[in-house]
Structure 1
Amino acid sequence: MKICISNLRLAVLPLALTPAFPAFAQTQPAPQLRETVVTATRTAQPLSDVVADVTIIDRQKIERSGAAGLADVLKRVPGIEMSRNGGPGATTSVFLRGAESRFTAVYIDGVRVDSQATGGAAWESIPLALIDRIEVLRGPAGAVYGSDALGGVIQIFTKRGEQGFAPFAGVGVGTYNTRKLDAGFSGASGAFDYALGVAHEQSDGFNARTVPTQNPDRDGYRGQSANLRLGFQVNRANRLEATYLTSDMDSAYDNGLGKDDRNLHELRALGLNWQAQWTDAWSTRLSVTDSTDRYETRPSPYLTTTRLRGYTLQNEFRLGAQLFTAALERKEDHLENAPIDQGRSQNAVALGYGFTEKNHTVQLNLRHDKDSEFGGKTTGSAAYGYAFTPEWRATASAGTAFRAPTLYQRFSEYGVPTLVPESSRNVELGLRWSQGASSVGLVAYRNKVNNLITFAGAGTCASPFGCYSNTARAQYSGATLTAAHAVGGVNLAASLDVQKPRDLATGKSLARRAKQHGTLSADTRVGSWQLGAEAQFSGRRFDDAANTRVLSGYSLLNLSASTPIARDWTLLARVDNLADKQYELARTYATAGRSLYVGVKWAPL
């Protein structure tokens, strides 16, 4: 969605809602193997040792979901709400625990992706078909990741090659003349491992704007993407790896009656990594990353390009039950958005300490960032977990984070060069119980943000229509309850988020965020069929900051089924919005009605 002001287009972050994957990582049944997670501390560690609030989504869950896009997968995660202006190719935003979309730090295979124009990642341009795993960290992580992670972190990983050769291919069709095709292969031979994937999807879409002032046509999309991941084990101690992802999304939107425009979004993410295991206790990792986010509209002229580069050197030292980490990091951001041609850099040193023994887990992190524009910023976090029985575990944590203003917020027509970073303080408590296939989890949190940047009235900037300012304060508080239980061959799961994201200056609710949202799901196996049902619900929201326009609450029912149809072949079918519910995630923007998708996948064992 864009707002035209003096013939200049501002990419405005839209908002929306949808429910959640039904369980925290810590509340899921214990896996047979010790699953590891890297997002919590940027260090691989067993999931059972993680104090942070983390959810893991693997490829099997993604395929079973039958989701149309990455947004449709993430909206099932506890604590996440979504916004999308139309179909999967339209502008999309993510809200972790009610926090602004720009407050989620996003990485693809360790490569940071962001926009210095709008702030936040372009979710619609990240191809779901090429994703192998997603890790979601809820809660500020500035002491680990630096700027951007006020609300949390989402790490996206593509497939890594394993021994042997594993090709795959998939094709599917659906409502709105949706067509999808993906193919690739992965494997390993000797010291080399490799993975390659390509994907294409397109849809005629539906009429996303049903108001009389907009074209009554379909607003479709077309996307192409590819990824490559190469690894080489130089010797027992040293490994080299390169990752690359490219994605091009072309989607339609209405710009008035008789006026159709196109969103052209290009995303590139390149990473080069060296890992060294010097001894059993000491390891080093060096990463060089580069990403480009290019957004253009045609025929209406607008073009913005963000380039990010990063350098990270991290050392890990293990001493019995203790883990020490020390990292040096440099970030370089650059924005071209005529007449803007500006850049900045941040240098940081980060220290971490972890301790896990018997019933106790401790995680401490401290980081200092020195920005080329704002000077120094120090963030820290402390977390403690205590398992007082084999089934029960309590956690507590506190942390600070910040986000530097985007280059657009400082140097555009609406920018103010003297803007200071937004900063937050977060505290949370958690209690989890797990026994066999049954689990229950509760996390309560409060995250206060100062110097919140908003678009206010006329001020010191060049535009008479309004300027960015540091005048706002916000508080994101709430609780997330999750549960899972298996009975009679049926796996049941549920999540409920009760939250109060509000503007502390006005006392108003933040726009397009519900006070309650959640999911209830069930899946079972009948013969060769894997069957699933999922109910999603959201309470009412306000469409504006003044809380004068109400978006009604809604509930949706989705069904899915999959079965092998021949050796190496699997059939997948999914019906979303079975009751054909009409609802809005943003005022005057339509959502998809009842939708059917059917696909087949070939993957030799």
Structure 2
Amino acid sequence: MKTQCITPMFTKSFVALSLVSAISAYADTSSNSSFILPPLVVTATSTPVSMADSLASVTVISREDVKAQQAQEISELLAAQPGVDVSSNGGYGKTTSVYMRGASSESTKFLLDGIPLYSATSGGAPFENIPTSLIDRLEIVRGSKATLYGADTVGGVIQVFLPEASDDTHMNVSVGGGSFNTKTVDTTLSGASDNTQYLLSAGKFETDGDIVKKDKEAKGYDNENILLNVGHNFDSGARISGLMMNSEGRNEYVGDESDYQVQVIGLGVRLPVMADWDTELKLSQTRNESITVSSRDQYDSKTNTARWSNTFWAGDHEFVLGAETSQDSIDVSRYQAPDRNNDAIFAQSQFDFGQTSLQLNLRQDRNSAYGDSTTGGVAVGYKLDDTYTLRTSYGTAFEAPTFNDLYYPNSGDPTLNATKSDTVELGLRADYNNLYWDAAVFDASYGDLVVWSNYTGSWIAYNVDSKVQGVELSSGLTVNQWQLNTALTWLDAKDNKTGFQLPKRAKRSARLSADRLFDKGRVGVTFIGADGRAATLGSSETISGYVTMNLRASYDFATDWNAELSIKNALDKEYQTAKDYFNPGRGVFLTLNYSAF
């Protein structure tokens, strides 16, 4: 059985790699080609490293890519990225779950400028309430990163970087609207005084939405958001920075509506102690709150975190030592739960031996509900030549069940075990002048993975042991004025005991983006496709696969002025990523942007 599963994955992966390699012959030798540096990634190691040198499987969505996609929701940026499945209970503010490498949705760690953001009740991140206008850059790191970021990194880490306060004085105003009576307005102002930098951003998004369930009316969504980001540089090289992000509004769903608020407050201090030693302290508080309008049911969670990390350099080698403490507390109408604390110490070492690089990780957690847990990992990279880099890694992770998993009335189970995982990965990356491709194959064992299922007639949380195997492929090509990006994933995620496919994980997914650049604008298209997926664990019912197409165009029609046009779901495809919940149909949207200074 195992051989039958993995062999087709290897075959498909190598066929795809052959196609990409065939393109590279032209891409690398074209007289109009230009050398493109691989982007830097921070999340994989906590310090900047080139994607070409990363020992983890990573995807970076740059500021330019975020802008070009004209995404209205973060799910548009994440959908069908390598190893990523997105499930939504409709569109525009409806509950969105992200599954990485077949792990549960709460097994994906979400960071906002290094600050962990999640609901202590459900465990998932409030992806649906993060305005895309506040996304400056996005990084996806697949596979366990528990050593650096603690529990909840069984499947991987997604980090959103907010716009930074800098010395540049800048103002931007955007006004837009379109289908479903959608209206948007965003404004950003940044500047500096002496050694102090600031950035202030505010925005509003409102829509009547589209039909979420069959024979039901459209459900709307409103969001108001504000971001304040400040920093001060000292002559000694030290820096102190702070941010406050608040996103709130009202969300309509079948049967009711709710008022919500997501708030992040962070303070950071970075100090160069010596020439080869930097120390950094981060303090943060996040709130994730909602209250049902009719019943006044309340789901409020708060997380306080303090993290102290030290980075040392010895020649080409780097070492990170640190400690972290966090506390989760909730105020929920339907049940009570004690505060939960987690204390940890962690260490990471990165060795550069020329062609060979080595990374070692170790972390010790003490959870007030689940005791001690030791996780770690090892990764090795080898540069075959100036183009190809081979990597392999092994990592473990730990995740405590959420408060809903344990205590939700008639569904939770206080005896649930914590999830523990082991992941092995082998990857190969190639970097040419204007082309890259990356392929990875992984094998993960998730012990006591928490899965919710209603195949008995009511929703209940279970522990299941799961074996997940997959192949991920991504590539990017720039030729003349064309930019092409592709992603392919083959995934087999099953419950070991029953053989059932884990729900909401597509066996195959693909993403293709093509953009044509002009002197004063660009046009582009993105195709996103996914195979059918199981609706719930233990049920033979499946959710059909789909292919969607998004069109976009941008034009600089005057000095400091720009217009953007997008057609979402241009084929007007009726599709679902969660059982019985429809995503929005075709929508046309126009945005005007004005930039000054």
Q: Normalising by structure 1, what TM-score? A: 0.89
Matches for 1:193-232 after TM superposition, within 5 Å: 193-211=197-215, 216-232=216-232
Instruction: String of CA shifts for 1:340-363, please: whole Å, max 9, x gaps.
Output: 142011111101100124222211
Aligned match of 1:506 = 498
Deviation at 1:296, TM superposition (A): 1.8
Deviation at 1:466, TM superposition (A): 7.1
Aligned match of 2:394 = 398
Deviation at 1:44, TM superposition (A): 3.1
Instruction: String of CA shifts for 1:29-68, please: whole Å, max 9, x gaps.
Output: 9986674322112223344432111111222211110111
Query: How far apart are the structure 1 equivalents of 2:57 and 2:496?
Result: 25
Query: Are the aligned partners of 1:336 and 1:342 in contact in 2 as well (CA < 8 Å)?
Result: no
Deviation at 1:373, TM superposition (A): 2.0
Query: How far apart are the structure 2 equivalents of 1:103 and 1:150?
Result: 5
Structure 1 residue ranges without an equivalent (≥5): 1-22, 256-260
Deviation at 1:76, TM superposition (A): 4.9
Change (3 A) 1:465 1:285: same
Structure 2 residue ranges without an equivalent (≥5): 1-19, 29-33
Aligned partner of 2:393: which letter?
A: S
Aligned match of 1:285 = 280
Query: How far apart are the structure 1 equivalents of 2:459 and 2:466?
Result: 20
Query: How far apart are the structure 1 equivalents of 2:371 and 2:115?
Result: 24
Aligned match of 1:18 = none
Determine whether 1:126 maps to 2:130.
Answer: yes
Query: Are the aligned partners of 1:196 and 1:229 in contact in 2 as well (CA < 8 Å)?
Result: yes
SS of the equivalent of 2:572 reads coil
Change (3 A) 1:452 1:197: same
SS of the equivalent of 1:423 reads strand
Q: 1:522 aligned to 514, 520, 523, which one?
A: 514
Query: Are the aligned partners of 1:110 and 1:271 in contact in 2 as well (CA < 8 Å)?
Result: no
Query: How far apart are the structure 1 equivalents of 2:450 and 2:559?
Result: 56
SS of the equivalent of 1:140 reads coil
Query: Are the aligned partners of 1:109 and 1:243 in contact in 2 as well (CA < 8 Å)?
Result: no
Moved more, 409-418 or 82-91: 409-418
Determine whether 1:377 maps to 2:381.
Answer: no
Aligned match of 1:169 = 173
Determine whether 1:552 maps to 2:556.
Answer: no
Change (3 A) 1:46 1:483: closer
Matches for 1:473-492 after TM superposition, within 5 Å: 473-487=465-479, 489-492=481-484
Moved more, 510-519 or 353-362: 353-362
Query: How far apart are the structure 2 equivalents of 1:346 and 1:566?
Result: 54
Q: 1:66 aligned to 56, 66, 70, which one?
A: 70
Hey, which bits of structure 1, 4+ residues long, moved more than 4 A? 27-35, 455-459, 464-467
Query: How far apart are the structure 2 equivalents of 1:34 and 1:449?
Result: 32
Deviation at 1:198, TM superposition (A): 0.6
Determine whether 1:417 maps to 2:409.
Answer: no
Instruction: String of CA shifts for 1:47-105, please: whole Å, max 9, x gaps.
Output: 44321111112222111101111111111522211111122211111111222110011
Aligned match of 1:439 = 436
Over aligned residues, Cα RMSD in angstroms? 2.3
Query: How far apart are the structure 2 equivalents of 1:39 and 1:435?
Result: 24
Change (3 A) 1:547 1:166: same
Aligned match of 1:270 = 265
Query: Are the aligned partners of 1:559 and 1:574 in contact in 2 as well (CA < 8 Å)?
Result: yes
Deviation at 1:457, TM superposition (A): 9.2
Determine whether 1:328 maps to 2:331.
Answer: no
Moved more, 285-294 or 38-47: 38-47
Determine whether 1:576 maps to 2:568.
Answer: yes
Aligned partner of 1:65: which letter?
A: Q
Q: 2:534 aligned to 538, 542, 562, which one?
A: 542
Aligned match of 2:446 = 449
Deviation at 1:465, TM superposition (A): 6.2
Aligned partner of 1:309: which letter?
A: N
Aligned match of 1:12 = none
Query: Are the aligned partners of 1:424 and 1:447 in contact in 2 as well (CA < 8 Å)?
Result: yes
Query: How far apart are the structure 1 equivalents of 2:178 and 2:431?
Result: 39
SS of the equivalent of 2:125 reads coil
Matches for 1:9-48 after TM superposition, within 5 Å: 35-48=39-52
Aligned partner of 2:145: which letter?
A: A
Query: How far apart are the structure 1 equivalents of 2:118 and 2:424?
Result: 26
Query: How far apart are the structure 2 equivalents of 1:293 and 1:547?
Result: 32
Deviation at 1:594, TM superposition (A): 1.5
Aligned match of 1:429 = 426
Query: Are the aligned partners of 2:35 and 2:434 in contact in 1 as well (CA < 8 Å)?
Result: no
Aligned partner of 1:602: which letter?
A: Y
Query: Are the aligned partners of 2:89 and 2:212 in contact in 1 as well (CA < 8 Å)?
Result: yes
Change (3 A) 1:346 1:388: same
Change (3 A) 1:252 1:467: closer
Query: Are the aligned partners of 1:49 and 1:356 in contact in 2 as well (CA < 8 Å)?
Result: no
SS of the equivalent of 2:578 reads coil
Query: How far apart are the structure 1 equivalents of 2:220 and 2:376?
Result: 45
Number of residue pairs the alignment of both structures matches:
566
Structure whose residues are more often helix by fraction: 2
Query: Are the aligned partners of 2:320 and 2:347 in contact in 1 as well (CA < 8 Å)?
Result: yes
SS of the equivalent of 1:585 reads strand
Change (3 A) 1:526 1:157: closer
Q: 2:119 aligned to 106, 115, 122, which one?
A: 115
Instruction: String of CA shifts for 1:103-140, please: whole Å, max 9, x gaps.
Output: 01111122211112111111111111112111111111
Instruction: String of CA shifts for 1:567-587, please: whole Å, max 9, x gaps.
Output: 111111111222211222222
**Identity over the aligned pairs, expressed in percent?**
29
Aligned match of 1:11 = none
SS of the equivalent of 2:209 reads strand
Query: How far apart are the structure 2 equivalents of 1:451 and 1:552?
Result: 28
Aligned match of 1:368 = 364
Query: How far apart are the structure 1 equivalents of 2:455 and 2:441?
Result: 38
Aligned match of 1:348 = 344
Moved more, 482-491 or 499-508: 482-491
